[in-house]
Structure 1
């Protein structure tokens, strides 16, 4: 009874010590051939201890890892809404934020001055943000997500740590690359890959949204096939890539053209 716990603890320590070198010997030969020894070493099947040579080596973060939020936008090559924000500037994220580090300026129509569902400006003070994830949990449009980029150290904390809309915006494909399981679950809940507002509009018109059961890349291009404005937009993206036009200029131009197509379709429907 006495000293048994100490012996058990020492046994665990010795076992970890031995397994550390056994695993290193096993992976020694594969390191030169496959180069994946570090990934294997930090997997759940690995035994013993290992040293991370940071920053050359980095431990893979889990999908549910939470760091500074970012805003989801459509991919630049999206047929109908290239680069368009998912955020509708509803302000729920700013209201539920515990440290109140989110500031939003809602956009307005330049002619009527009425508010439009699009943020004019969006700021997050990353020094105040506590990475709780409340903004992502409460967002009804899946427009704000928690990032995996934790290397944000800087010598200046006055301005560089206040991220604006440009610094916060990242395409939907990036969100899918870091959290594929969560992306699929959200698409399943929406019933389609598109933004929830797009899904509502399609159903009002009697059209079927892109099913989430299809792979995303296939689904994104499915409704852009054939002789349609969307297909022309896809061809235009390919043309821009070939001519080497400035990406930001091309994105704004495609966005303007997509808006013009939308207004033309609405005008045609109201006749």
Structure 2
């Protein structure tokens, strides 16, 4: 009776002692170069501490980790990639996205740019549909999961993110999603090559048109005073002439 409890306490004691042994080995490192302390994970073969001492230690996040989305700002064009098409809001399962489109003050026509963009993080389930269906790669999933706030701040203002808080440069997107970023660059290069080929084909077609016109213009014109051939009149059928003669 009680042997299982004693075995469990023995495992805990062994990990407790190994933790200090590993720390002492790390401190007395004689290599001259202080290596960063390896992050520990829970494993039966692990020695010492089996937890990550957050926030002092953080496990590296995988590239496809999904949290609250953010809007991508094009640093090359100095403009938002979002065109306020509204596809992200339509495909969002919990309907946590709403957009106000910019309107031209003179013509009152919509401008392809969001005036306001909101995401309610209290109901966002981080599914990634908005980033997957966006045709302009203007919205991506963020890695920032530390969104806590102080009780003195207004909860609604902290949990409903507006456009200014959601917008981040494309360099940030490249740093957390390198594979996705390289894919976008490859797709952009292929699209530009396709447009260039189409423009070259159109230019060749335009260059071939004046050649036919020049040949027609090179045909010699009749000399001044020369008799111009008269236009042929309508010919009467032979049967109609025979009928006229018989009547006469």
TM-score (norm 1): 0.57
Once the two structures are superposed, the pairs formed by residues 176-187 of structure 1 within 5 Å of their partners are 176-187=174-185
- Worse-superposed segment, 63-72 or 18-27: 18-27
Shift of 1:204: 9.0
Q: Is 1:151–2:155 an aligned residue pair?
A: no
User: Which whole-Å deviations, capped at 9, do the CAs of 1:132-187 have from their partners, x for residues lacking one?
Assistant: 11111111111100101111012332222111111000000001111112211233
- Worse-superposed segment, 131-140 or 111-120: 111-120
Q: Give ranges in structure 2 of 5+ residues lacking alignment.
A: 201-248
Q: Give ranges in structure 1 of 5+ residues lacking alignment.
A: 1-5, 208-271
Shift of 1:110: 2.5
- Worse-superposed segment, 166-175 or 131-140: 131-140
User: Which whole-Å deviations, capped at 9, do the CAs of 1:175-224 have from their partners, x for residues lacking one?
Assistant: 11111122112332x2339xx8xx599659949xxxxxxxxxxxxxxxxx
TM-score (norm 2): 0.61
Aligned match of 1:139 in 126, 134, 152? 134
Could you say which structure has the larger radius of gyration?
2
Alpha carbons 1:103, 1:124 under 8 Å: kept:
yes
Where in structure 1 do 4 or more consecutive aligned residues deviate above 6 Å? 18-23
- Calculate the aligned-residue CA RMSD, in Å: 3.5
Q: Distance in 2 between matches of 1:142 and 1:97?
A: 16
* Number of residue-to-residue matches in the alignment: 184
Once the two structures are superposed, the pairs formed by residues 158-197 of structure 1 within 5 Å of their partners are 158-188=156-186, 190-192=187-189
